[in-house]
Amino acid sequence: MRLLTDNIRRFTDEEIRFTSSLAEVCGTAIDNARLSKELMQSRTNQKDR
Q: What is the DSSP letter of 43?
A: H
Binning pLDDT at 50, 70 and 90, where does residue 38 land? very high
CA–CA separation, 31 and 37 (whole Å): 10
Q: What is the dihedral of CA 28, 29, 34, 40, to 10 degrees?
A: 120
Encoded amino acid at 28, one letter: T
Query: Over pLDDT 90: what percentage of the chain?
Result: 84
Whether the predicted model's global pTM rises above the 0.75 cut: no
Binning pLDDT at 50, 70 and 90, where does residue 10 land? very high
3-class secondary-structure state, position 5: coil
Encoded amino acid at 30, one letter: I
Q: What is the mean pLDDT of residues 32-47?
A: 94
